[in-house]
Structure 1
Amino acid sequence: MHVLVVMTMAMVMVSLMACCAHGQFLAAIPHAISSLPPTVDTLSMTLPKLDIHASLPGFALASSSLSLSVAAGTGGSFLPSNAIILSNSPSLYLAPEPRRLLVVLEQMQLSSTGDHRSWAHRVRKAVGVKEIYARGPNVVYDMPVEAYEDFAAKIGAADVDAHLLPMPAQPLVAVSANATARVARIRDTVRALQNPNPIISTLAARVSPTNIRSTLEYITGVTSSITTRNSLSLGAEEAATWLRTQLETLGYDVEVQHFKSGYAPNVIGTLPGRFETTSVVVGAHYDSRSKDLYSKTNPAPGADDNGSGTASMLELARVLATSGVNYDYTVRIGFWAGEEQGLLGSKAYAKKCRDADLDIIAYINSDMVAYRPSANAVQLALMERDSSTLLNDALFAIMELYEPSLRTCFSPACCSDHASFNGQGYLATGVFENCGPILDPMYHNQGDVVDRPGFDIDGELATACRAIVAATLSFAGIDPTL
C-alpha cells in the first residue's frame, strides 16, 4: 500500500520537535530545505521507506532511510504554498511513465473571488471525490494517471473557476550559475545607463496599435471565421496556420510543434543572432476558453486572454524582423496552445529545450496585457510566482529606463506559461496587465471582445508591447558595429 502525506512547513517543524522527543532527529529534512535556493518555497519530498514518528490531525511526518529528493514546485507553482508531500512510493509519481498523478487546483484570483471553503466544496461536488489537501485557494487531488482526462473534463464542465496544475513527473532542474551571472550582468548594465539606448528606444517606438488591432480582429473573429481558439477546436488550428503564415512572411524560420493528439500545435518563429546557439525566448498562449474548459464550439473570442499577449508577440516579431538591426543572440518567439488545459504546449516546448540542452538567456511571457479600468493608470505587473527574482529585477530596471511613466508592480496571478520554463531550470517571468488579482470582468467569458469598455489597445497594450520590445532587445543584444 502506498502512503501519501501532505504537510505545511509549520507542521514539519512541530513534527520535528515531536520526533526529537522520541529520540528521532530527522536532520535530512531541514538540511534538504536549507540547501535549496531561496526561490524554492514549495517542495515535494519522497522517502523510499515510511515510518510514522509523529502525527497531527490529517498529517504525519515520516522517516526511515531519510533518502529525500526534491520533486517539483517553486514559488507555489505546483503545490499550495509551503506544502510538503511525503510518499513511500515515489516511483508511482516520479518516473518516465508514472502510474499516479498529483493535481493541484487553484481558485482563479479574480477581484470578485469568494470564500475558499465554498469553492473547495463545489470542486469536491463536481469531481465526486475528496481532495487529499485543502488550504486557502488550493486543493490537491491524487489519482491514477489515466483518470486525469475525465477529472479535468468534470472540472471544465462544472464552472468552478479553477486552474488545473498537474504536477510534473520529474525533479526540478536547477538554474545554472552561468545563466544567473549573465542576467545579473545585463541587469547591472541597464541600471548603470543614464539614458536609454537610442536604437532600442527607436525600435520600441515602432510598435503600432493599428497592427495590434488588426491581429486582434482576426484572431477574435471580427475579420475571420474564428469563434473560439479552444485548443481542441478548428478555430485554434486556423489561428495556428495564420500565425505561421505571418511569421514566414516576416522571414522567420518557423517550427510547428505537435505536442498532443487532438490539440492545436505550438508555433515558434526563430530569428538567428550572431551567436546562434544562445537565445532569448518570448511567448504567449494563443488558445482561449469559455467557462467549459473543453468545449470546441462555445464562443470564446479571448481578446484579453490571450489575444492581447498573442498580438504583442506578433507585433514584436514584426518590429524585430523589419528593424535592419543584427542581434547578438537568437530570438525565438513562441505561440503556445494548451495553456488553458494545464500549460501543455509550453511544457512540451520547454522540455524539448531542456532535453536539447538549449542555452536560453531568459524566457518572457505575455498573458493578459490589455484590460485597464478607466480609473486606473497604465500599469504593468511582473509575476511574483513561478518566476526568477533576478530576472524580475532586470525587467523592472528595463521598464524604468524605457517606460519611466509606467507604474510597475507584482501580481500574484497564477499559472501561465513562464512556469513551464521555470520548471526546466530557465530564468523566466511574465508580464500582466495590473497589480493584484485579475480585474477583467470578461475573463473566460464570451464577452472578452476587443471593442468594450476597459479594453485599451492604445494605452495598456501598446505600452506593454513597447516594454516587451525593449526587454527582448536588451537581452538579445544589438551588434555594436551597426
Structure 2
Amino acid sequence: MYQMLLFAGPSGYLFRPCLGDNARRAAHQTPELLQELNVPEGQTLHVLTPEATEQIPLPYPEAIPQQPSERYSVRDIIRRVINTLSEDNLRENLDGLTSFDNRYYDSVSGRESQRWLFERISNITTKSVSHTTSSYVSVQEFEHPWLQNSIIAQIKGKTDELVIIGAHLDSLSISDPEGPAPGADDDGSGVVSALEAYRAIISSGIEPNLSIEFHWYAAEEVGWLGSQDVVKAYTQRGARVRGMLQFDMTAWVKNGTREEIGILDNCADEGLRNLTTEFVAKYLAIPSVSTKYPLDYCSDDRAWWEAGYPTIGVLEGTFENANRLNIHTQNDRSDISPEFSFSHMLEFSKLAVAFAMELGGVAG
C-alpha cells in the first residue's frame, strides 16, 4: 500500500513514495518520465502545484536539500579550484622558507623557520578565507619537547572524520646537523605544494563533508618524531582518518626522463593507492608511476601507517630518478639545476586538491 506525492520544481518534479510510516528518500524525475508512472489500482496519486505545496505540509519533516552534485559535479568543482593554483605562490613561499640557513628540528634556525612558516600560513588563511569559510578554518601549532613545532591547518567539515595532507618542514645537513641545509626539495617542495593547495581550497568558499587537515611536521629527518607525536595524540582521542597523503619531495624532473608522479608502494593502503592513481589520471597533466623506497623506508606516513591508519605517499618520480645527490647538503636549492621544476610542483598541488576534495566531499 503506498501513495506518491509529487512536487513541481524548476527542472522537473519530485515525488516521494510512502510505505506506511517509513519514508524513502525523494527521487527526481523529468516530466516525460512522470507521464509513464503507473499508480497501483485503488491507490491515489496526489499531484501538487507549487502554490499548493506552500499550504500543504510535507508528509515528512526533513527538507529535500539541493546538493551541489545536482547542479554540477564534484569533478567540476575540483577542476575549478585547481585552475586557481599558482606557480608564483610556490616560488614566493619556497623563497621565504629556504632563506634560513637550515631547519634542523632542535636549533634556533629550525624554530625561526617554523615560526615564519606558521605566520605565513596564518596570513594566507586570513587573506584567503571567504565569509562563508572563516568560521571553520583554523591554524595552530602542535608543540613538541624540542624547539621546532609542527603546524596543523584544519578546514572543518560536517563530520570529524579526517582527510590529511602532510609534508615535513624540517631539513638536515648530513655533514653537520646545524650546517647549511636550505632543503628546497627535501622537503620545502612538499611544504609549499601542500600550502598552495590549502590556499586554493579555502579561497573557494567550499565546505567539505569530512574535515580536511594540512599537516607540516617537525623533526621528520631524525625519525619522524613530529608526526609520531601528532599520531599519538590523534590515536588517544580516537580520531577517524579516511586517508593520509604524504608529500616528500615534489620538484625534481631528472634530465631525459618522463615527468611523472611517483606513487610509493611503501606504507601504502591498496585502496588509497588505487584512488591516488585514479586522481592523477583524472586531474593532472602528467601520468603516475609505481615506485618504492629501498629497505621499506617511508616519510611521516609511516607514523600513521604503524598506528593502523590508511596512508599513501607520493614522490617527484621514481626513486631512481629522484634528487638524491643534492638533498641533505647545501646544494638542495631551487636554482641548482633546471631539473628543479615549479610546474612539476604544481602538479602535486593539483593532486592535493583532488585527494582532499574527492575524499572529503562537498557539503550541501
* TM-score normalised by the chain length of structure 2: 0.73
Alignment of 1:180-191 (within 5 A): none
2:320 aligned counterpart, secondary structure: coil
Aligned letter for 1:478?
V
Is contact 2:253–2:321 with CA below 8 Å preserved after alignment?
Answer: no
Counterpart CA distance in 2 for 1:478 and 1:433 is 29
Aligned-pair CA distance for 1:437: 3.1
Return the match for 1:456 from 333, 340, 344. Answer: 340
Counterpart CA distance in 2 for 1:292 and 1:331 is 37
Alignment of 1:219-238 (within 5 A): 219-221=97-99, 226-238=100-112
Q: Which residue of 1 aligns with 2:261?
A: 380
Return the match for 2:85 from 207, 213, 230. Answer: 207
Q: Which residue of 2 aligns with 1:359?
A: 240
Is contact 1:263–1:338 with CA below 8 Å preserved after alignment?
Answer: no
Aligned-pair CA distance for 1:227: 0.7
Aligned residue-pair number: 278
Is contact 2:101–2:182 with CA below 8 Å preserved after alignment?
Answer: yes
1:342 aligned counterpart, secondary structure: coil
Which entry has the higher C-alpha Rg, 1 or 2?
A: 2
1:307 aligned counterpart, secondary structure: helix
Is contact 1:378–1:459 with CA below 8 Å preserved after alignment?
Answer: no
Query: Aligned residues: percent identity?
Result: 24
1:437 aligned counterpart, secondary structure: helix
Is contact 1:412–1:437 with CA below 8 Å preserved after alignment?
Answer: no
- In the alignment, structure 2 segments of 5+ residues that lack a partner are 1-72, 127-136
Q: Which residue of 1 aligns with 2:298?
A: 415
1:267 aligned counterpart, secondary structure: strand
Aligned letter for 2:231?
A
Counterpart CA distance in 2 for 1:254 and 1:369 is 23
Counterpart CA distance in 1 for 2:231 and 2:321 is 26
Q: Which residue of 2 aligns with 1:240?
A: 114
Tell me: higher relative CO, structure 1 or 2? Use CA pairs within 8 A at least 6 residues apart.
2
Counterpart check, 1:255 vs 2:146: no
Counterpart CA distance in 1 for 2:344 and 2:174 is 25
Q: Which residue of 2 aligns with 1:466?
A: 350
Counterpart CA distance in 1 for 2:90 and 2:196 is 6
- In the alignment, structure 1 segments of 5+ residues that lack a partner are 1-194
1:444 aligned counterpart, secondary structure: coil
What is the Cα-based RMSD across aligned positions, in Å? 1.7
Counterpart CA distance in 2 for 1:235 and 1:331 is 29
Is contact 1:212–1:457 with CA below 8 Å preserved after alignment?
Answer: no
Return the match for 1:197 from 75, 80, 83. Answer: 75
Q: Deviations along 1:46-93, whole A, 9 cap, x unmatched?
A: xxxxxxxxxxxxxxxxxxxxxxxxxxxxxxxxxxxxxxxxxxxxxxxx
Q: Deviations along 1:221-244, whole A, 9 cap, x unmatched?
A: 1xxxx1101112222212221222
Q: Which runs of 4+ in 1 moved over 4 A?
A: none
Counterpart CA distance in 1 for 2:340 and 2:87 is 10
Aligned letter for 1:357?
G
Q: Which residue of 2 aligns with 1:314?
A: 195
Q: Which residue of 1 aligns with 2:164?
A: 281
Counterpart CA distance in 1 for 2:183 and 2:286 is 28
Aligned-pair CA distance for 1:399: 1.1
